[in-house]
Structure 1
Amino acid sequence: MKTFEELALITPIKKALHEEQYVTPTPIQAQTIPAALSGRDILGSAQTGTGKTAAFALPILNRLGKRSKKSMPHFPQVLILAPTRELAIQIGDSLETYGRHLRLRHTLIYGGVNQFRQVRALKKGVHIVVATPGRLLDLMEKDVCRLGDVTFAVVDEADRMADMGFLPDVKRILDQTRSDRQTVLFSATLDGAIDELVTRYQRNPVVHELEDEPAGDVTHHFWLSERPGRVALVAEIVDRLGHTVVFCRTKHGSDRVARQLGNAGVKAVAIHGNRSQAQR
């Protein structure tokens, strides 16, 4: 497959792709989309930035868009799980872009915000739910979100789910979906924890792995500096290179370094777990 035109996508989706000037699929899209369109379970290993969101978003929209029934479903038919709020929002944006000519509704479910709008959207009816595990489980326990009609499930960045301790929640959620659903799982790595998800929730999945390519045009430098001179050194680096990320060992250290850089005339902010999502 060399172009999106060669895919068996419905016209409204092809129109959206044309408007976005998307012509050639990325390798993971070329490998994954045909199998997903045919109804196969997919196990994909791909890093962020490879186009994997479209690899599952396009088949989802194609399936829902082909159905002749136009009434709004009482309960979601598609579930997409993401480890973070930011990724959920990104996926929602992609669904909005590719599905702009389809009469489909999706909603985002994540923590850190009031539940009111999320609950209202679910009660109105949606085709697709994009969610982080914690908030979704909360709404499921309140009987606001039921997953018994889900026929297509996606677990994105499953390795990050494992790193963040979300896999038990993911299992509890997937256990509430239909047993005959189509399941797509993406992970940067395929290890033991991911194998358990594959064994439990996928049926003979098509496996696609992209070989990691070393990043090009990267130069590494190492400076040995005594503690009193570190902030001055960082300030000099920022002055030469511009936008810079500085990693510190502790939250307190992050605040201290940001303050010292500010005193040195560098605009700096500290980002860590003691700050709210809005502050970050």
Structure 2
Amino acid sequence: MKTFDALGVSPDLTATLRERGIEQPFPIQELTIPDALAGRDVCGKAKTGSGKTLAFGLPILERVTRSEPGRPRALVLVPTRELAGQVRDELAPLAARRELRVEAIYGGARMEQQARALTGRVDVVVATPGRMIDFIGRKQVRLDDVAHVVIDEADRMADMGFLPQVEWILRHIPGDHQTLLFSATLDGVVDTLIQRYQRAPAMHEVASAQVTVEEMEHRFLLVHELDKVKVAAAIAAGATRTIMFVNTKRAADRLARSLSAEGVRARAIHGDLRQRERERALGDFADGKLPVLVATDVAARGIHVDEVDVVVHYDPPEEHKTYLHRSGRTARAGESGVVVTLVLWNQELEVKRLMRRLGIEQPIVEVFSNDPRLADPASWDPAADAAVV
């Protein structure tokens, strides 16, 4: 494996990396950094957690020049405010080495404070698309001097319906500029983005294991509506970290309160919460201080936590892709995980259709909240050890 120095990264930046304990580049960094440093457009296919931030961040910080107030030189577009904060925090120590400023701009935070930052000198802006458009429309930021553009997690942008906003921004960047795009998938609308906004990009791919149905233990439990919260609480009581998925923001708040009433420490995470509240909940969950996180699908895009013991589909998902996205939270970093779906009587046919799409053949098992098997759902075989509906 090459070193960062061998890839062309300057000594001052490699020294800063070493101070943070970063010695060797990840595969996506080794593949993409030389082309990005050479000024080429780059298209990188890699999963979340593969080191993409430094793959685009190091070349940008090597090549970016100091900006004028309100006229950034580099723009990084990301799908969620959590990711905006993570990218800023990772790049800021490196930028400071060169007296460059990085700011994160996202919805859910006070616009006045962000506007003051933008109208000052900001060399690299990390932004969610909607909030960036707000500031462009208010003429509080101009894109005329942007020389480097990054589209990070383009597939998630597509899933969340943000690509029209991304394209609007890209169309409003005049002149020649370098475009770096990173995504877990490069087909469909993401490929359209590549064709429209990149020029002969260097294509690089890091093969990574897909989370599959076979990597997880699945349990489908028929529950009664008045007992459903108690079943969820019993599952959480037997685990260190549990993520429970619901379909709406209101349901997330309601479930978190109900679990707390059952003696289970839980907090909701969704788009209506203030950024500080979301960050505190995520931090406490990652640190093991908060055992249960109740999340909507969109909010869960910002959750990158290993060692999640159980994922509970408190509200069953409608699509098998959503089931896999949610369930993959417990099959990270090479670990297998347990996925539990709670099923009410009127959801049974819909869930059985979902199971067929996923290729899962097992019974839906009726349980009550006093069932000792809930403490360790992976320890028993639904086919052999349960009363089948």
User: Same-fold call, TM > 0.5?
Assistant: yes
Contact 2:5–2:11 (8 Å) recurs in 1? no
Say if 2:101 is the partner of 1:105.
Answer: yes
State the distance in 1 between where 2:208 and 2:37 align: 26
Contact 1:110–1:131 (8 Å) recurs in 2? yes
Q: Which residue of 2 aligns with 1:200?
A: 196
The number of residue pairs the alignment matches comes to 275
Contact 2:73–2:145 (8 Å) recurs in 1? yes
State the distance in 1 between where 2:190 and 2:153 align: 10
Q: Which residue of 2 aligns with 1:170?
A: 166
Q: 1:116 aligns with which of 104, 112, 121?
A: 112
CA displacement, residues 180-206 of structure 1 (integer Å, 9 cap, x when unaligned): 211000111112211111111101101
Contact 1:2–1:25 (8 Å) recurs in 2? yes
Higher relative contact order (CA 8 A, sep 6+): 1
Contact 2:10–2:62 (8 Å) recurs in 1? yes
Q: Which residue of 2 aligns with 1:247?
A: 245
Q: Which residue of 1 aligns with 2:232?
A: 234
Which AA in structure 1 matches 2:263?
G
Q: 1:131 aligns with which of 127, 133, 143?
A: 127
Residues 27, 138 of structure 1: alpha-carbon distance in 2 compared, 3 angstrom cutoff? same
Q: Which residue of 1 aligns with 2:21?
A: 21
State the distance in 1 between where 2:164 and 2:255 align: 37
Q: Structure 2: any 5+ residue segments left out of the alignment?
A: 279-389
**1:60-99 matches, cutoff 5 A:** 60-64=60-64, 72-74=67-69, 75-99=71-95
**C-alpha displacement of 1:158:** 0.9
Contact 1:16–1:100 (8 Å) recurs in 2? no
Q: Which residue of 2 aligns with 1:265?
A: 263
Q: Which residue of 1 aligns with 2:37?
A: 37
Which AA in structure 2 matches 1:262?
S
Greater shift, 268-277 or 120-129, is seen at 268-277
**C-alpha displacement of 1:118:** 2.1
CA displacement, residues 27-69 of structure 1 (integer Å, 9 cap, x when unaligned): 11111111111111111111111000000000011113xx6xx
**C-alpha displacement of 1:229:** 4.2
State the distance in 2 between where 1:247 and 1:267 align: 16
Q: Which residue of 1 aligns with 2:157?
A: 161
Q: Which residue of 1 aligns with 2:296?
A: none
State the distance in 1 between where 2:162 and 2:277 align: 24
Local SS of the residue matching 2:82:
helix
Residues 114, 188 of structure 1: alpha-carbon distance in 2 compared, 3 angstrom cutoff? same
State the distance in 1 between where 2:10 and 2:146 align: 22
Which AA in structure 2 matches 1:261?
L
Q: Which residue of 2 aligns with 1:151?
A: 147
State the distance in 1 between where 2:248 and 2:174 align: 44
Contact 1:156–1:187 (8 Å) recurs in 2? yes
TM-score (norm: length of structure 2) = 0.65
Which AA in structure 2 matches 1:239?
A
Q: Structure 1: any 5+ residue segments left out of the alignment?
A: none
Which AA in structure 1 matches 2:159?
D
